[in-house]
Structure 1
Amino acid sequence: MSVAVIPDQAQATPLLSVQGLTKHFPARNGRIVHAVEDVSFDVRRGSTVGLVGESGSGKTTAGRAILRLVEPTAGKALFDGVDLFSLSAREMRTYRQKLQIVFQDPFSSLNPRMRIAAIIGEALDARGFARGKRRADRVAELLALVGLSPDHASRYPHEFSGGQRQRIGIARALAVEPEFIVADEPVSALDVSVQAQVLNLLGELQKRLGLTLLFIAHDLSVVEYLCDEVVVMYLGRVMERGPRRLLYAAPRHPYTKALLATAPVPDPTRRRTRVALHGDIPSPIDPPSGCVFRTRCPEAIAACAGMIPPLDHVGGGHHVACIRHNDKTI
């Protein structure tokens, strides 16, 4: 498998542009679950964007809606200029090869009745990539690519550790040579030492193969290590987004500050100010009026209940959705 070389101009061009993504689910008594509301961000070709937030923030739903694993309610997802949401089911099938996903749980995402060769080879069969010896050679190549032995192809998933299973999941996603991968919390179920190994693997694969990644996580320390840009979500909406270095050096939104305050810092000389968040994330069936974060925000004022703050640009590609922390109020 050759090393991908991405031209500088291509690096500046979004491979994926998500515009106004909204996903609602029906609930009882005619009510609606507002899982994702008006989410917009770009993913540059060859880069990694982190989608971060607590459980219930809508980040996994957003990732799956982009891939049309759940059907979006509104918005656009322009992949290389083509709106994925406007495609028919038949047209979308032609894009499945380019768009893949690595699931969160390495234990339930692999069929326990299938050998590893069949799990990885299933994608090859579906796309007609290889048959017979070529198929076996390709499976062996993919296993080696993710740091496993080709001999593992004859084993079953229960014979592997969680980290090894996630490597198999990554190999399966790479089988059809995708351009874009959604990594849905791929290390959250793993031990800390194993997390680092899988993160290193993803970083190496991205550089070697020229992959574009949407990395979903709840841990900002993980995202800082891997991602070029960060999108912070809360209760279905984007609170803040921007280049990693700006967002970590000077977070503007109170929610981002709170997430950073709880993230572990490997350097003992660095200290972060603790930000207390009281209560639980509200129900997406009945989200708060105005800013959805206001019920837990330590800096909320009365005006926060009266308007949904726009995602304002505050410089350098940094955007913030807060009436107290945008470029108009500082």
Structure 2
Amino acid sequence: MTQPLLKVENLSKHFPIHGGVLRRVTAQVKAVNDVSFEIAPGEVVGLVGESGSGKTTVGRTLLRLEEATSGSVRFGGTDIMSLSTREMRAYRKRMQIIFQDPFASLNPREKVREIVSHPLRLHRIGSESDRIDRVVALLEKVGLGTEHLERFPHEFSGGQRQRIGIARALAVEPEFIVADEPVSALDVSIQAQVINLLEDLCQDLGLTMFFIAHDLGVVEHFCDRVIVMYLGRIVEMGRSEDIYARPNHPYTRALLSAAPQPRPGRRRDRVILKGDIPSPIDPPSGCVFRTRCPLADAECARVVPPLEAVGTGHLSACIKTR
């Protein structure tokens, strides 16, 4: 088997809550709890789940934009969690991110030319003229032109800003990209262009991608494997065709039943979840999904269900559906 490019083991990220006059830690927001998975070279893995499930935190922690509370992340066999700031800089070139918010992720005081060329200057790639040529080529790939080089971010629409962010992430030709909702701010027609662009780049350059999204249709089309998260835990993962054709976990079934179907003949039985997602400060005991699960009983409150195989490469964390 091909060795994984990225191997995540027992990753957790908790954010402390401070209170009182002395600002002591009074509670923890358990954003990510005991998450483990692997990504092979050239693979596109999708991460789906409701808002507040911990998807963005996982992506940021993989790149050490957030420091993990516990666990390890091995990139190319190296545990990057143990690297110093100086040692980590070399890995920044190999690992990049496309941020979710195109309004907050760009420096409002820099022109597009400076924004996209900044990674090239930071890593000392090429001469100044080479960098400009590279910036122009990147802008053309994401649907912008040379006339946009001297403009500031406030002069663009949200979709155009996101394309600038994508160009910046691709500037240093990374091996691995975390794409955090990269098309959520774009019009539908532009979404298709950007997804096709990312797909072509993955094939042409051998990119490996961790694709965070809400659009289950895009994930089905674009991703080789899918990970489903709920309240900081992985509840199911497997190949895209298995997840979409044979979802095992009740939460996965609910997500897929809520997704619009372009072909009415494929419509699934609607699963309506009751209540809201619980607070990550005090998640439910046992299975975190049990407070909204139609199959839950007393056993679900006592047992934290492990991810176990329900098919070839298909894992699910539910003791009621195996």
Give the TM-score, by structure 1 length: 0.92
- The 3-state SS of whatever aligns with 2:263 is coil
Asked if 1:14 is matched to 2:4, the reply is: yes
- The 3-state SS of whatever aligns with 2:197 is helix
Instruction: Verify the 8 A CA contact 1:49 1:229 in the aligned structure 2.
Output: yes
In structure 2, the residue matched to 1:197 is: 193
In structure 2, the residue matched to 1:301 is: 297
Kindly state the Cα deviation for residue 283 of structure 1 after the two structures are TM-superposed. 0.4
Q: Deviations over 1:183-227 (max 9, x none)?
A: 011122233333222222211221122110000112322211211
In structure 1, the residue matched to 2:80 is: 84
Asked if 1:43 is matched to 2:39, the reply is: yes
Matched to 2:118, the amino acid is: E
1:210 & 1:146 partners in 2: Cα distance? 18
1:279 & 1:222 partners in 2: Cα distance? 27
Asked if 1:26 is matched to 2:31, the reply is: no
2:273 & 2:114 partners in 1: Cα distance? 47
1:43 & 1:268 partners in 2: Cα distance? 34
Instruction: Verify the 8 A CA contact 2:18 2:27 in the aligned structure 1.
Output: yes
In structure 1, the residue matched to 2:168 is: 172
Instruction: Verify the 8 A CA contact 1:22 1:36 in the aligned structure 2.
Output: yes
2:70 & 2:112 partners in 1: Cα distance? 38
* Superposition CA RMSD, Å: 1.3
Give the % identical residues. Answer: 63
In structure 1, the residue matched to 2:280 is: 284
1:158 & 1:245 partners in 2: Cα distance? 41
Matched to 2:116, the amino acid is: I
- The 3-state SS of whatever aligns with 2:10 is strand
2:248 & 2:82 partners in 1: Cα distance? 35
2:145 & 2:185 partners in 1: Cα distance? 23
Q: Deviations over 1:110-139 (max 9, x none)?
A: 222211100011111111002321121121
In structure 2, the residue matched to 1:111 is: 107
Matched to 1:151, the amino acid is: E
Matched to 1:13, the amino acid is: Q
- The 3-state SS of whatever aligns with 2:229 is strand
1:154 & 1:278 partners in 2: Cα distance? 50
- The 3-state SS of whatever aligns with 2:319 is coil
In structure 2, the residue matched to 1:5 is: none
Q: 1:311 aligns with which of 297, 300, 307?
A: 307
- The 3-state SS of whatever aligns with 2:182 is coil
Q: Deviations over 1:64-100 (max 9, x none)?
A: 0110000001111111111111112221111000010
- The 3-state SS of whatever aligns with 1:14 is coil
Tell me, which stretches of 5 or more residues in structure 2 are unaligned?
20-25
Matched to 1:184, the amino acid is: D
1:192 & 1:299 partners in 2: Cα distance? 36
Q: 2:265 aligns with which of 254, 263, 269?
A: 269
1:163 & 1:226 partners in 2: Cα distance? 20
Q: Deviations over 1:238-267 (max 9, x none)?
A: 000000000100000000000001111112
Kindly state the Cα deviation for residue 166 of structure 1 after the two structures are TM-superposed. 1.5
2:238 & 2:320 partners in 1: Cα distance? 18
Q: 1:155 aligns with which of 126, 135, 151?
A: 151
Moved over 3 A (4+): none
2:67 & 2:315 partners in 1: Cα distance? 27
Kindly state the Cα deviation for residue 14 of structure 1 after the two structures are TM-superposed. 1.4
- The 3-state SS of whatever aligns with 1:27 is strand
Tell me, which stretches of 5 or more residues in structure 1 are unaligned?
1-8
Q: Deviations over 1:255-307 (max 9, x none)?
A: 00000011111123221110010111000000000000000001111100001
Instruction: Verify the 8 A CA contact 2:162 2:185 in the aligned structure 1.
Output: no
In structure 2, the residue matched to 1:93 is: 89
